[in-house]
Structure 1
Amino acid sequence: MTRVLILAAGEGTRLRPLTNDKPKCMVPLLGTSLVERQIACLKRQGITDIHIATGYRAEQIETLGYPTSLNPRYNQTNMVSTLFCALDFIEQEGDLIIAYGDIVYDDINLTTLLESDGEIALMIDKKWRDLWSLRLENPLEDAETLVMNDAGYVTELGKKPENYDRIQGQYTGLIKISADKISDFVAFYKQLDRNASFDGKDFDNMYMTSFLQSLIDAGWKTKAALVNNGWLEIDSVDDLEEYESLAKQGKLDKFYKV
């Protein structure tokens, strides 16, 4: 059995004014909210055990009818803290998918992740420059390092690259943890030094990539579930307008099939 935890606590400040009165995951893409698009994709793959970690405007997400866990300090912490506010759900039985609340993805991408082995699997976009070039004049400015070994396991991610040599793909915000590693996953988080710095951030504000890198550095086998486009990140109003413009031109399917 596979379960899904959607992380949807953030305020989405770069999507204002659209997020003045709604959480980021409730912003519509072509008439349907981001979180509802994710849920529809999950259900098409037979996944119905869905939990949402909330924060900003949590009451609106609660109206969807799915179990939720609240991060009451959502405006003072980062995504990893939000993740472990849903500890009771994390510790239940079955494989666990962790999904960012501001992404959407094609069915085939989700299937690729579900079929991937490894203690942890990450959805990695090999053709990431297509999407980054659409959103940014210089893709390197916003990209992060992603290095894999010959066996297809991620060895480095989330650093600031100096060139394209250490970017073999981009991490997309979709993670799968195998059922037999859930207890170890939780234990690893609990034993982290609360006073340490994680890529320049304190414990409460560490990036998800910093947490994943810590696991990799500790010897966790982190498999790359490789995809070619088939997903979108909605981080700003410009992103949203670009995607909707492409859809009207019939050109969005390369990146995401609405």
Structure 2
Amino acid sequence: MDDFAGAVAVVTGGASGIGAAVVSALRERGARVAVLDLDPSDVTADDQTLPVRCDVADDESVRAAVAQVVDNWGGIDVVVNNAGIGAQGTVADNEDAEWARVLDVNVVGMARVTRAALPHLRASSRAAVVNTGSIAATAGLPQRALYSASKGAVHALTRAMAADHVREGIRVNAVSPGTADTPWIGRLLEKADDPQAERDALNARQPHGRLVSAEEVAGAVVYLASPASGSTTGVALAVDGGMQALRLRPVEQ
């Protein structure tokens, strides 16, 4: 498919996990993709791929990265705000500095990147922004107070941005993954007393019985960014195996 032929996309946190899957999916559909990441050294540059070092917590770094993309490819049509960091614990378990750090990356980072790209999105005939949210925004999960707060803010920010920019021809949506099989989850499992038991519990928590794959999330991101979803804006598309919406009876033993 070539529905992104000629388009320029920016993907933050694009060097691994969900971000890398999004980069691959956009490339397959014809987009030129700038991979913005703290460490893009493993990303190979070619005619369709531009690795750019970027810290979304630093406005100067963000503006320089966006300028580099525009200097190379002349504009920006799609922004995928995927960069983010995790956090564990109850509301009592993180100090103010950690709250500020996580919110700065997970929420303000999206604002920084979109703000820097906005003049170029306004000039595009296919402008779209997709933010990576989470099931943690809409379902109360234990030991995720700070992370949940940050992703709840992402969902609210998505709706507000959609309202602000819809009449400029810029669609803004979010994807809301369930627990995804990413490097961050892998590191959490490694720290568990019984990693396999913990993985089994995470699998069982989602009605379809397994973790969400990065490729499944990428498929939703690509749909929301594509012209095929031209009348879709201000939504958070769940990719969670039914975790948010379904209420199944317990499996009989």
Select the structure that is richer in strand: 1
Select the structure that is richer in helix: 2
TM-score bracket, shorter-length normalisation: 0.3 to 0.5
Q: Which protein, 1 or 2, shows the higher relative CO under an 8 Å CA cutoff with sep ≥ 6?
A: 1
Task: Calculate the TM-score normalised by the size of structure 1.
Answer: 0.39
Task: Calculate the TM-score normalised by the size of structure 2.
Answer: 0.39
